[in-house]
C-alpha cells in the first residue's frame, strides 16, 4: 500500500493532462518509416485545419451554380434545322436529345463491361429541352442518313426499337433556311462555311447556334455581327466550356483578387495522335457519287475532288482556320470568360509543319504571344500536335497561380506579398493547393478514348449540376434555346463571338505574314 501511495504522490496531474496526441505523435516519429509517415500525416491534418480556417475567414469561394435563364423549356417547342451531320454535328444532336440507335447499342455494351460507363444512363437523365428537328442538310449522303435516323429516334431506342418519322432532308442549306417550319438552326460545317451560313440564316430570321470558330475571314466577321444585330436573332457560339462549374469558381477567385496582380497567362494544346492532328479516317463507302463536292468548295478556292480534303479539311488553309481558329479559340474563350480579356493589343506568332509532312498547309506547331498592355499581362498560346505532354491552362499572379480545366487548383507563390505572413508561419504550404475544386468529385467517370480524355480534362465534355454528370454541350444548347424563348442574350453571344474571331484572326495573320499584328481600337480593325 505504501509503495502504491508513493507512486501516486509522485504523479503530476498537470503533466499527465499535457501528454496528449501531440506527444504521442512525436514519440511515434522516432520509429523509422512508420513514425515518419504518422508525423507527416499529423502535420498535414494540422495544415488542413489551419488552411480551412484561413480560407473561410479571408478567401472563401462560395458555391456557384449560376442560372443564366429560368427554366422555360416547356414554354414553347422550338423547331430546329441542322446543317452538317458529321461527328460534331451528331454530338450536337445528342446534346439536343437525338442519338442514332447504333450509338445507344455501343453505350449499352460499354455499361455491361464497365460499371463506371454511365453514358447511356446520363443520356436518359438528360433534360428534355422541348425541340423537334424538322430539317437536315448534309452534302455527304451517309452523314445525312445517320442524322435523319438519330432525329427520328425520339424515344431513345436501341437498334431493336421503333424509329419515328424522319425529318426532311434538304440538299442545300438555302432550301433549309427557306423552310417555313424552321425557327432556329445549328451550324456544324467546315470553318469556311460558318460566316456565310450565319449571315444568311440571320437574314432569313433564323436563330443560330454556330460551332466555333465564328468566321473564316476577317471581313465576314463584321458582316456576321451586322446580320445578327440587324435581324435581332439570338446567336450562340459553340464554346460549351462556358458551362463548366470550375470556370465559374475561377472567375470568382479572380474577382476576389486571390491571385494578386496577374502578369502571365499560359494556355496550351498538346496532342500526339493522327486523329488529334486532324488525320481522320476516310470511310470506305465515300466517293464522288455520294458527296456534293461543288457545295463543299463553296467560297473556298477551286480544287479537284479529294477525299483527303473533304474529311481532313482542317489541314488546309483553303477551308480551315488552323490551330488558332480551331483549337486556340477554346483556350481563349475560357480565359475570356474568366478574365474578360477582350481583343488583345497585338500578337506575334511562330511555328511550322514540323511533324506531319502529309501535304497540309496549316502548322502542326504554333506559338503565339498576345499582348494586353492596358492589363499589364500577356497571353501565351503554345501548341503541338506531336506531343502529349500535359501542360494545361495556368493564370499566374504575383501572389498565387491558378490551374484551370475540368478541375481548379490555386497555389500560393513563394514570393507572395499578400500571403507572406502565413507562409512564414507555416500556415500555408506552397506545395499544396490553397484551394481545390473538382466538379462531381465523388463520381467515377468512364473515359473511353484518348480524344475524350483530352476534352474531358479541359472541361469540354461534361460538368456536374446537382450531383449529376451533365453534357456541357447540352447545357450550352439549352441556354441558347432558353434565350430564344425569353428574348435574352446567351453567355457566348455575338459580342463574345466577335472578340473570339478577331483574336484568332490576329494570331493567324501574325503567323502567315510573319509580322507583329495590331488591333486598332479606334478604327476597330486589324493593322
The beta strand positions in 353-483, using DSSP E, are: 365-372, 377-384, 394-397, 400-404, 408-412, 435-437, 462-465, 468-471
Nearest one of 519, 457, 467 to 330, comparing CA atoms: 457
Of 211, 238, 265, which one is at a domain's C-terminal end?
Answer: 238
In a domain, 446, yes or no: yes
Checking if the pLDDT of 13 tops 90, the result is no
Cis, peptide link before residue 213, omega less than 30° from 0: yes
Give pLDDT, residue 71.
57
pLDDT value at residue 74: 63
Q: Kindly state the cell numbers that stand for 365.
A: 506547331
- Rounded-to-integer distance, Cα 126 and Cα 460, Å: 17
Residue 360 lies in a domain: yes
Return the C-alpha cell found at 273. 495522335
Encode pLDDT of 48-97 as tens digits.
555 555 444 444 565 454 544 455 556 789 999 999 999 999 999 999 99
Cα–Cα distance for residue pair 508/170, rounded to 1 Å: 34
Q: What average pLDDT does range 212-220 have in this prediction?
A: 98
Question: Is there a contact between 117 and 448 (Cβ–Cβ < 8 Å)?
Answer: yes
Residues 114 and 258 reside in one and the same domain? no
The continuous run of DSSP H or E covering 237 comes out as strand 235-238
C-beta of residue 143 within 8 angstroms of C-beta of residue 131: no
Q: For helices 329-339 and 494-512, what crossing angle results, to 10°?
A: 130
Q: What is the pLDDT of residue 49?
A: 58
pTM reported for the whole predicted model: 0.86
* Residue 472 maps to a domain: no
Is 150 in the same domain as 137?
A: yes
Is pLDDT at 15 greater than 80 in this prediction? no
Same domain, 86 and 202: yes
Q: What angle do CA 280, 194, 521 make, to 5 degrees?
A: 120
Does residue 61 lie within any of the structural domains?
no
For the cut 70, the answer to whether the pLDDT of residue 105 exceeds it is: yes
d(CA 248, CA 50): 26
- Residue 220's closest CA among 228, 231, 232, 209? 228
pLDDT, average across residues 457-473: 73
26-35, 302-311, 392-401, 488-497: segment of lowest average pLDDT: 26-35
CATH number at residue 137: 3.40.50.720
- Give whole-number Cα distances, 323 to 30, 51, 249, in Å: 56, 41, 28
Provide, rounded to the nearest whole percent, the portion of the chain with pLDDT above 90: 72
Q: Quick check: is 469 in a domain?
A: no
186/329 same-domain check: no
Grid coordinates belonging to 374: 492596358
Q: Are residues 199 and 259 in the same domain?
A: no
312-to-169, 225, 277, 308, 322 alpha-carbon distances in Å: 24, 29, 9, 5, 12
Cell of residue 242, nine digits: 462556358
Q: Are residues 41 and 181 in the same domain?
A: no
| DSSP annotation string for 319-374 | T--HHIIIIIHHHHHHHHHHH---S-SEEEEEEE--S--SS--S-SEEEEEEEETT
How far is 286 from 265, CA to CA, in rounded Å? 43
| Residues 260 and 409 both lie in one domain | yes
- Number of independent structural domains in the chain: 3
Q: Which residue, 212, 238, 264, sits at the end of a domain?
A: 238
- Both 84 and 31 in a single domain? no
Residues 251 and 370 in one domain: yes
> SS3 of 232, please?
coil
**Residue 455 is assigned to a structural domain of this protein:** yes
Please compute the mean of the pLDDT values over residues 298-319 and round it to a whole number: 98
8 A C-beta contact, residue 194 and residue 214: yes
Give the range of the structural domain holding residue 499, as residue numbers without chain letter.
Answer: 243-273+317-464+494-518
Residue 296 lies in a domain: no
Let me know if residue 477 belongs to a domain. Answer: no
Whether the per-residue pLDDT at 185 is higher than 70: the answer is yes
114 and 168 fall within a common domain: yes
Sheet strands side by side (includes 78-83) = 168-170, 131-137, 78-83, 184-187, 207-211, 235-238
Grouping H, G, I as helix, E, B as strand and the rest as coil, residue 437 is strand
| Strand duo 525-526 + 517-520: pairing | antiparallel
Query: Domain containing 425 — which CATH number?
Result: 3.30.360.10
Same domain, 390 and 370: yes
- In this structure, the answer to whether residues 176 and 157 fall within a common structural domain is yes
User: Is pLDDT above 60 for 500?
Assistant: yes
Who has greater pLDDT, 235 or 463?
235
Amino acid at each position: 500500500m505504501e509503495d502504491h501511495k508513493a507512486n501516486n504522490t509522485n504523479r503530476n496531474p498537470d503533466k499527465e493532462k499535457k501528454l496528449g496526441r501531440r506527444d504521442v505523435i512525436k514519440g511515434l516519429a522516432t520509429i523509422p518509416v512508420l513514425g515518419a509517415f504518422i508525423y507527416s500525416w499529423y502535420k498535414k491534418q494540422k495544415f488542413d485545419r489551419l488552411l480551412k480556417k484561413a480560407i473561410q475567414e479571408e478567401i472563401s469561394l462560395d458555391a456557384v451554380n449560376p442560372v443564366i435563364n429560368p427554366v422555360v423549356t416547356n414554354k414553347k417547342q422550338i423547331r430546329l434545322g441542322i446543317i452538317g451531320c458529321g461527328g460534331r454535328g451528331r454530338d450536337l444532336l445528342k446534346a439536343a436529345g437525338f442519338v442514332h440507335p447504333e450509338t445507344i447499342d455501343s453505350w449499352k455494351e460499354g455499361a455491361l463491361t464497365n460499371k463506371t460507363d454511365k453514358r447511356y444512363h446520363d443520356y436518359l437523365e438528360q433534360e428534355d429541352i422541348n425541340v423537334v428537328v424538322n430539317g437536315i442538310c448534309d452534302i455527304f449522303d451517309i452523314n445525312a442518313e445517320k442524322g435523319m435516323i438519330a432525329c427520328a429516334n425520339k424515344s431513345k431506342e436501341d437498334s431493336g426499337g421503333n424509329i419515328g418519322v424522319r425529318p426532311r432532308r434538304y440538299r442545300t442549306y438555302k432550301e433549309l433556311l427557306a423552310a417555313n417550319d424552321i425557327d432556329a438552326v445549328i451550324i456544324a460545317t467546315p470553318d469556311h462555311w460558318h460566316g456565310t451560313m450565319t449571315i444568311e440564316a440571320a437574314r432569313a430570321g433564323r436563330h443560330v447556334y454556330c460551332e466555333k470558330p465564328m468566321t473564316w475571314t476577317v471581313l465576314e466577321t463584321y458582316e456576321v455581327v451586322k446580320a445578327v444585330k440587324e435581324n435581332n436573332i439570338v446567336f450562340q457560339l459553340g464554346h460549351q466550356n462556358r458551362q463548366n462549374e470550375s470556370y465559374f469558381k475561377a472567375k470568382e477567385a479572380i474577382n476576389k483578387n486571390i491571385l494578386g496582380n496577374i502578369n502571365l497567362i499560359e494556355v496550351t494544346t498538346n496532342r500526339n495522335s493522327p486523329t488529334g492532328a486532324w488525320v481522320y479516317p476516310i470511310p470506305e463507302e465515300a466517293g464522288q457519287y455520294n458527296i456534293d463536292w461543288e457545295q463543299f468548295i463553296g467560297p473556298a478556292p477551286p480544287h479537284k475532288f479529294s477525299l483527303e480534303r473533304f474529311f481532313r479539311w482542317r489541314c488546309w488553309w483553303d477551308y480551315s482556320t488552323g490551330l488558332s481558329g480551331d483549337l486556340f479559340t477554346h483556350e481563349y474563350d475560357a480565359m475570356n470568360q474568366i478574365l474578360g480579356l477582350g481583343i488583345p493589343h497585338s500578337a506575334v506568332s511562330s511555328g511550322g509543319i514540323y511533324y506531319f509532312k502529309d501535304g497540309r498547309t496549316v502548322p502542326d506547331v504554333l506559338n503565339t504571344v498576345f499582348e494586353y498592355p492596358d492589363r499589364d499581362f500577356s497571353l501565351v498560346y503554345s501548341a503541338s500536335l506531336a506531343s502529349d505532354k500535359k501542360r494545361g491552362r495556368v493564370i499566374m499572379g504575383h501572389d498565387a497561380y491558378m490551374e484551370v480545366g475540368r478541375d481548379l487548383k490555386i497555389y500560393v507563390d513563394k514570393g507572395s506579398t499578400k500571403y507572406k505572413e502565413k507562409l512564414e508561419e507555416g500556415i500555408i504550404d506552397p506545395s499544396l493547393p490553397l484551394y481545390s475544386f473538382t466538379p462531381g468529385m465523388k463520381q467515377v467517370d468512364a473515359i473511353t478514348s484518348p480524344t475524350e480524355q483530352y476534352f474531358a480534362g479541359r472541361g469540354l465534355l461534361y460538368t456536374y449540376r446537382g450531383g449529376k454528370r451533365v453534357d456541357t454541350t447540352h447545357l450550352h444548347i439549352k441556354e441558347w434555346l432558353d434565350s430564344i424563348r425569353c428574348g435574352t442574350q446567351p453567355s457566348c453571344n455575338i459580342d463574345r463571338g466577335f472578340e473570339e474571331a478577331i483574336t484568332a484572326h490576329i494570331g493567324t495573320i501574325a503567323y502567315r505574314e510573319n509580322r507583329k499584328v495590331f488591333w486598332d481600337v479606334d478604327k476597330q480593325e486589324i493593322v
